[in-house]
């Protein structure tokens, strides 16, 4: 049964900071989420550097649906459902590569990299030439747009632009990707692993849950230097549903490894380009399911696989023009900390999986309301940093912004457009 808007609103009370865990486990809510959240939002597909040449492709997902992203002969990017128009079989079974066409291994239909159906075996004698190739191309992703090389797709043709959706979060993304000439690139190879929990637990955590770090990551952080405090950073919520929190600067340099040496060497020039943002150690979520870790060389996508299961896809990000030894060091650092067996990542996976198990098996636990009150004081604001800025590293304003937007999507028949007045009221210091 499709959950009613009244029911959904009874589960998510943003003002009180109370959320029912039903939204993390209920099958009907999950099905509606695939339609109204994943079916209408900008979802990260790939970075330009992953598909530089015509014919380059990358296989990924949008919500639960497999899609292929492909560079076209004219340099543009298209994406389409990775499902044959004949019986829905995957037409691309490779993770990535370069091709002139996609060949369905069930009955042999073939499509070009723009998704057009270009060959059907025995077209004349099997179909008596009554099959229109033109009408049987792959289902296209309605919109493809990119920001600083980050390519996103949207199944909803009516959605506002990607840049409008990213809003003030762009300023913080810029602070990461514009630090040096040439920007960033994504190294080959995606690390993927599965967590038995709801995808939103990971998305909300990256939207600003730095509160968990001193406890969950006590063992790994102990080796990184003194514990941090709220005054060492800030958290920012965005009306579009995004969230970010950051330390103003690294407490200690880890060692004399090539990555630290490179980061130190570039700092002055990076500060000239992006100011204080050059030193941020940050995490963010761009609503709904794209997150990044500026400072840890990592971007990731949360792919839902059911109400209580998701896959983490983790990409290593480096400065494009960094020397090879620094790139290698970034890759090692990203795997060491944020890989599936990383010293930080294993802590998070254990938390999410144990919560997922309680919701899967429990009954009383599903009746409670979780607490999302932290940081529910008015925005403090900052003259330089946009968004609803709060002057503590710890806070859940980003979480509440995420679920406010989630609820708007879940309860709206039409695409829930935001006005500038709504954004301004949300960001206003002291409001």
Q: Kindly list the residues in this chain that would bind Fe ion in the complex (CB under 5 A).
A: 348
Residues 333/342, Cβ–Cβ less than 8 Å: no
List the single partner that 231 binds among Fe ion, ligand FES, none, CB under 5 to 8 Å by kind.
none
Asked if 9 interacts with ligand FES (CB under 6 A), we say no
Considering only 5, 9, 106, 264, the residue that binds ligand FES (CB under 6 A) is 106
Asked if 84 interacts with ligand FES (CB under 6 A), we say yes
Choose the catalytic residue: 217, 242, 303, 399.
217
The site that binds ligand FES (CB under 6 A) totals a number of residues, namely: 9
The tokens describing 297, both together, are: 């060389």
Is there a catalytic annotation at residue 35?
A: no
d(CA 399, CA 379): 14
Choose the catalytic residue: 212, 264, 272, 424.
212
Choose the catalytic residue: 28, 107, 251, 272.
107
Considering only 18, 31, 86, 249, the residue that binds ligand FES (CB under 6 A) is 86
Nearest to 19 by CA among 30, 27, 28, 10: 10
Asked if 389 interacts with ligand FES (CB under 6 A), we say no
What is the DSSP code string of 248-301? SS-SS---SSHHHHHHHHHHHHHHHHHGGGGG-EEEEEETTTEEEETTTTEEEE
Asked if 109 interacts with ligand FES (CB under 6 A), we say yes
Nearest distance in Å: CB 221, Fe ion: 10
Binding mask 253-292 for ligand FES (x = CB under 6 A): ----------------------------------------
Listed in order, strand segments (DSSP E) in 1-148 are 12-13, 18-19, 43-47, 56-62, 65-71, 77-81, 96-98, 101-103, 110-112, 117-119, 143-147
List the single partner that 106 binds among ligand FES, Fe ion, none, CB under 5 to 8 Å by kind.
ligand FES
List the single partner that 109 binds among Fe ion, ligand FES, none, CB under 5 to 8 Å by kind.
ligand FES
d(CA 256, CA 405): 43
Q: What are phi and psi of 343, to 5 degrees?
A: -65, -25
Q: What are phi and psi of 184, to 5 degrees?
A: -105, 165
Residues 211/394, Cβ–Cβ less than 8 Å: yes
Asked if 81 interacts with ligand FES (CB under 6 A), we say no
Please give the positions annotated as active site: 107, 209, 212, 217, 348
Residues that bind ligand FES (CB under 6 A): 84, 86-87, 89, 104, 106-109
């Amino acid at each position: 049964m499709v959950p009613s808007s009244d029911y959904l609103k009874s589960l998510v009370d943003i003002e009180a900071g109370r959320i029912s865990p039903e939204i993390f486990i209920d099958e009907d809510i999950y099905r509606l989420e695939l339609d109204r959240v994943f079916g209408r939002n900008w979802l990260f597909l790939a970075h330009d550097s992953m598909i530089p040449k015509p014919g380059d492709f990358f296989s990924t997902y949008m919500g639960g649906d497999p899609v292929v992203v492909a560079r076209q002969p004219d340099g543009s990017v298209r994406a389409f459902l990775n499902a044959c128009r004949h019986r829905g079989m995957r037409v691309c079974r490779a993770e990535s590569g370069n091709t002139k066409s996609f060949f369905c291994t069930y009955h042999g239909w073939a499509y070009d990299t723009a998704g057009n159906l270009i060959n059907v075996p025995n077209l004349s004698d099997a179909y008596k030439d009554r099959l229109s190739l033109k009408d049987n191309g792959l289902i296209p992703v309605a919109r493809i747009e990119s920001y600083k090389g980050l390519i996103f797709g949207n199944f909803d043709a009516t959605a506002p632009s990607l840049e409008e959706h990213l809003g003030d979060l762009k300023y913080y993304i810029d602070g990461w990707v514009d630090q040096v000439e040439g920007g960033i690139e994504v190294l080959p190879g995606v690390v993927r692993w599965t967590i038995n929990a709801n995808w939103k637990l990971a998305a909300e955590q990256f939207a600003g849950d730095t509160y968990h770090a001193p406890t969950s990551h006590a063992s790994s952080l102990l080796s990184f230097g003194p514990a941090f405090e709220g005054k060492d950073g800030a958290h920012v919520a965005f009306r579009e549903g995004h969230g970010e929190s950051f330390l103003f600067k690294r407490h200690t340099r880890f060692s004399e490894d090539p990555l630290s040496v490179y980061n130190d060497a570039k700092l002055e020039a990076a500060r000239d380009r992006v100011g204080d943002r050059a030193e941020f150690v940050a995490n963010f979520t761009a609503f709904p399911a794209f997150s990044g870790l500026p400072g840890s060389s990592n971007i990731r996508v949360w792919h839902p696989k059911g109400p209580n299961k998701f896959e983490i896809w983790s990409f290593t990000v480096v400065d494009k023009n960094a020397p090879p030894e620094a790139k290698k060091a970034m890759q090692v650092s990203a795997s060491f900390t944020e890989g599936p067996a990383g010293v930080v990542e294993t802590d998070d996976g254990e938390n999410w999986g144990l919560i997922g198990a309680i919701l899967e098996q429990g009954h009383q636990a599903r009746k409670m309301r979780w607490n999302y009150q932290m940081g529910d004081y008015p925005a403090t604001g900052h003259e330089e940093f946009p968004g609803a800025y709060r002057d503590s590293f710890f806070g859940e304003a980003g979480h509440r912004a995420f679920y406010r937007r989630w609820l708007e999507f879940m309860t709206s028949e039409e695409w829930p457009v935001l006005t500038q007045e709504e954004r301004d009221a949300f960001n206003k210091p002291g409001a």
